[in-house]
Amino acid sequence: MRGVLDVPEALVPVQGLIADALVRVESVFDEHLRAELPPVDQLCAHVERYRGKMLRPILVLLGAISAAPEAPELFASGREDELVTDELIRLAAVCEMVHMATLVHDDVLDDAELRRRGATLNHLRGNEAAVILGDYLIAGAYHLCATIGRLDLSERIGRVSMDLCAGELLQLHHRGDLSLDEPTYFEIVRRKTGTLIGVSCELGASLVNAPPETASALYQTGLRLGVAFQIRDDLLDLTGDEQRVGKSVRKDLEKGKLTLPLVHHLGACEPISRGRSLELIEGGAGGVSEADERELLGRLTETGSVTYTEATARALVNEAQQQIATLPPTPARALLDALAQAVVDRAL
């Protein structure tokens, strides 16, 4: 997406429609945060540099465009740009703003120094500025949402933000908990990442007054994509390379966060071998040596935990694609399907 996704010829126009819409989303995002107070504007300018894949705004847009009752007709007559209203652009900016607020606060919690190949705000300007700026972003999101003129959207955005924080608190509570089980891991990930991505898909559909079953199918799609995305992210933190990933890695081990590959590994390995794995994981809290890293990855591979994790993400994406298949057949639906596939292929 944003030119990154390699789509078939037939999807080029709808991809262009989304790309144009994203430019508008960015302007609304930036303008809404402008405060005419130089110190505030300088910090907001820094956040603009964090801008990444814009997954949530893309999903808001695709949710609306693929679910609008008049979409098939508008696509057939080449008038699909009428689907991209000012309200839709604002809603897309709202979801990105909520996400950006969590990124800024997450980096404070994680003591992260690197985000999207640049220094994090907390690293550059201190934790205090980062905490307040995160608050400013979330306030901006709610304010912008209220200007759309639909109370149901404001309620849903408030609700999903509560869920998101509850997920983070649950994760914090289980920090250093080496007996974390899969259901709890999924509960955390569903809340902290899944629900906002689900709601992004769903609210696009709600805004265009799609039938409730379509909005619900889109929520289920986003929820699964979100969880798959987080699982992939957790795997990258463990196996990825900082330069390639573009943000701090090995943070999960350092912070005592057990992720799916580790949870699976500890459940699957022989009792006799488990002690050494626990030792390596616990040792990670003080920073992981390269030798320990290699040994741990070797152990994860032995129990098939990396493969298991990848398969879990793939299964979730498959479920998402089954939901997508229930939507009306438009180019927007096809693009949504391609996007889901990209999560599996790591092309996104």
Residue 274 engages a second copy in binding (rule: CB under 8 A):
no
Q: How many residues bind a second copy (CB under 8 A)?
A: 46
Q: Two tokens at 19?
A: 């790309």
Q: Which 212-231 residues touch a second copy, going by CB under 8 A?
A: none
Whichever of 140 and 226 has its CB closer to a second copy, that residue is 140
Min dist. Cβ of residue 147 to a second copy (A): 6
Structure tokens at 59: 């999903």
Which residue lies nearer to a second copy by CB, 138 or 208?
A: 138
Cα distances (Å, whole numbers) of residue 221 to 33, 165, 193, 340? 30, 21, 13, 9
Encoded amino acid at 340, one letter: A
Min separation Cβ 176 and a second copy, Å: 12
Q: Which long-range contacts (CB under 8 A, 24 or more apart) does 310-317 make?
A: 310/235, 312/231, 312/260, 313/228, 313/231, 313/232, 313/235, 313/343, 313/344, 314/228, 314/344, 316/224, 316/225, 316/227, 316/228, 316/231, 317/224, 317/225, 317/228, 317/341, 317/343, 317/344
Contacts of a second copy in 18-47 (CB under 8 A): 35, 37, 39-40, 43
Contact 91, 26 (CB under 8 A): no
Q: Which of 70, 128, 182, 279 binds a second copy (CB under 8 A)?
A: 128
Give me the 133-162 binding string for a second copy, x by CB under 8 A, dash otherwise.
Answer: xxxx-xxx-xxxxxx-xxx--xx-xxx-xx
List residues near a second copy by CB under 8 A.
Answer: 35, 37, 39-40, 43, 101-102, 105, 108-109, 127-129, 131-136, 138-140, 142-147, 149-151, 154-155, 157-159, 161-162, 164-166, 168-170, 172-173
